[in-house]
Structure 1
Amino acid sequence: MKQTISLFLITFLISISLSAQNTYVFLGSYNRDKTAASILVYQLDTVKGKLTQVTSVKNLINPSFLTVSPNGKYVYACTDSKTPNAGSVSSFEFNPQNKTLTFLNKQPSGGENPVYVSVHKSGKWLVNGNYTEGSVSVYPLLENGKIDSIAQNFQYQDGSVNKERQTRSHIHSTIFSPQYDYLFLPDLGADKIRCYQFDATQKQPLTATETPFTKTDPESGPRHLSFHPNQKFAYCIEEMSGTISAYGYENGILQKIQKVNTHPDTLTEGFESSDIHISPDGKFLYATNRGKENNIAIFTIDEKGLLANIGYQSTLGKHPRIFAIDETGKFLIASNVLTGNVVVFKRNLKTGLLKKTGKEVQLENVSCVQIKKI
């Protein structure tokens, strides 16, 4: 009898703990109007897909990309993006109980036009990529969530073959390996995926590797990188060629195994690929196309890591720059910059296909969406 009561009590407490967790959606925008909200937080109804606004912040210029700390307490943003002779990274404290997002501090980005920030799993390091000047900056994070001054900054000069878009390096994302022991930097300007070892115990965590970069095809323009949950494969979306390169992965080394179009083979121009993510179960890959298409390409992933296209889903707006999949894999949320609308899609867990659900959210020049269960 006592064992039955104890089991019931444990189950009850676990259910309370799980119900106390909520899923939040964080939106950023290219917003030069300091009087308007530029970062907004919504709560996601994980049954109906409805978004309910929780809080917002103003007095920011162009928070183009956001990331949330592993513990969900802090939000980090690329700020002053697309601003000549400027660029910064900013930190905020998120309190879901009080429904507040409070500015903490900011630091120079170490290069013009910051476009991507990542937090190490330890919560002690922030990495930022600067597009225009082609650089990466590494910052210690303080216990109160504030960003300390730059610990390391690397600038790159080399470009590639396209004389209009690749005259110099353009770092487009900063991606940690599955074990957080390597950092990968897709470089659109140089047609390279740069790589460093990352040791979180050191004051300067980035060190050179024996293989400092993986060369991509000329004029491909590598943009974002996503690792498979099994940690054996990685996928890089290439903006300029509208393609995805699939790689086998081990200990900081990428070995190319496949290249596929993100768009129908009949389309020969007007594509502009942007973001890429894999479903939590590792069965499906999603990639966004801007330009003429404005859709999400859907692929299956087989046991060898190879991709097969199974369809396309309109994002119901123009210029889907960033999208995100929630931790359960039930929902995919897309942000359309030019139409300023955020659309929630429900994922069919068996087929991988998408269906719009709930009501759209409007945010002028919405640039980024992140989802976090807290």
Structure 2
Amino acid sequence: MPRPGDLVIGGYTPDTEGSGPGLTVARPDAEGRLEPVAETAVSGPSFVAGHPRLPLLYAVLEREGEGGLAVLAAGEDRAAPRLLAEHPSGGSLPCHLALDDRGEWLAIANYGDGTVTAYRLGEDGMPEPGPLTFPHEGRGPHPERQEGPHAHMAVFGPDGVLYVTDLGTDEVRRFLPGMRPHPEGSVRLAPGSGPRHFLHHEGHWYVTGELDGTVRVYDASWREAGTVRASGAEGENLPSHIALSADGRHLYVANRGPDTVAVFAVDGPRLTMVAEAPAGGRWPRHFAIDGDRLYVACQRSDVVVALGLKEGLPEHGGQTLAVGTPSCVLVR
């Protein structure tokens, strides 16, 4: 199993309109330089997650029509992850997955048709037969991007409820423990915002709006408590990923268009921008934080960039690793 600090990088492959090899395992040295140490050929693994207890990796295979879910054994030391099984994702173009803290459920967000799929996991971490699928209907005001539902990110909350953003319908869909649809239905967010990635911290939800270039803050009851622009740059911005520092003081947002990483000081519902640094490449699709390093997957530059963090703020420049169309970085 890759030791802590190793990276597993997912991305698009030639059969999914990309140029990557599948999964790439990389190792940073003391100076932050990244060295590729292994590759596994998998079709379009655009997002990767690890099991909370077992040496297993899971990847969505972002394909048109019937998407896929790959289960892999995490490679020992420098060994490549080994494909164990492949299952349907239950929908088209799956783009995200999440596991609950106990490793009992795996949820998939299928962007193409908006379907949410849930697999119960066995004690060995393998998906059991008979996944649950939850199609959706609706649309938003954006004529091209919100013509129908587009499930984008799945998050198991501190209450055990599964939350799924739907960029196409401006909603957060909810499922009670055991994957029962919430009796009160979905939560409606700001029209036209296009909710993408989100997180929970100390009673508040922080949500990137891909279509309106914002970060919105909601309280525990999903009442809007604040809004900021995700970037100070002029022009179109499509924010992608969002994450917190380990101490909860800083919120990081990747901005596609300006191609930056913005940093906000966090005070409950109040966000104050304290820095915005170049991402080091074009179209920062995703990033991961590991100590004093921030690793950015710059999809359209075919690189993963290692930015140093000084007192929580990104430093200019950074070491790069060439990887075709990277879309996800997982720190193991």
TM-score normalised by the shorter chain: which range applies?
over 0.9
Equivalent residue, structure 1, for 2:315 = 355
Q: Which runs of 5+ in 1 are unaligned?
A: 1-19, 199-204
* More deviation, 353-362/314-323: 353-362
- How many angstroms apart in 2 are the aligned matches of 1:94 and 1:73? 5
Cα 1:354/1:98, change in 2 over 3 Å: closer
Equivalent residue, structure 2, for 1:39 = 23
Residues 1:336 and 2:298 aligned together: yes
Equivalent residue, structure 2, for 1:49 = 32
Divergent runs of 4+, >4 A: 33-36
Equivalent residue, structure 1, for 2:108 = 128
Q: Percent identity?
A: 27
Q: Superposed, which structure 2 residues align to 1:201-350 within 5 Å?
A: 205-228=178-201, 231-249=202-220, 253-264=221-232, 267=234, 269-291=235-257, 293-302=258-267, 304-326=268-290, 329-349=291-311
Q: Could you tell me how far 1:272 is from its partner in structure 2?
A: 1.0
1:344–1:356 CA contact under 8 A, matched in 2: no
1:29–1:368 CA contact under 8 A, matched in 2: yes
* Alignment root-mean-square deviation, CA: 2.0
Tell me the SS of whatever aligns to 1:100. coil
- How many angstroms apart in 2 are the aligned matches of 1:173 and 1:108? 18
**What letter matches 1:321 in structure 2?**
R
**What letter matches 2:289 in structure 1?**
I
**What letter matches 1:223 in structure 2?**
R
Residues 1:182 and 2:161 aligned together: yes
Q: Could you tell me how far 1:38 is from its partner in structure 2?
A: 1.2
Equivalent residue, structure 2, for 1:17 = none
**What letter matches 1:311 in structure 2?**
A
**What letter matches 1:355 in structure 2?**
E
Q: Could you tell me how far 1:357 is from its partner in structure 2?
A: 7.0
- How many angstroms apart in 2 are the aligned matches of 1:354 and 1:77? 28
- How many angstroms apart in 1 are the aligned matches of 2:123 and 2:34? 31
Q: TM-score, normalised by structure 1?
A: 0.83
Q: TM-score, normalised by structure 2?
A: 0.93
Equivalent residue, structure 1, for 2:6 = 24
Q: Could you tell me how far 1:150 is from its partner in structure 2?
A: 4.0
Q: Superposed, which structure 2 residues align to 1:71-90 within 5 Å?
A: 71=53, 73-79=55-61, 81=62, 83-90=63-70
Q: Which runs of 5+ in 2 are unaligned?
A: none
**Matched residue count:** 329
- How many angstroms apart in 1 are the aligned matches of 2:133 and 2:109? 10
Cα 1:165/1:316, change in 2 over 3 Å: same
2:297–2:303 CA contact under 8 A, matched in 1: yes
- How many angstroms apart in 2 are the aligned matches of 1:216 and 1:172? 14
Q: In terms of Rg, which structure is larger? A: 1
- How many angstroms apart in 2 are the aligned matches of 1:72 and 1:305? 36
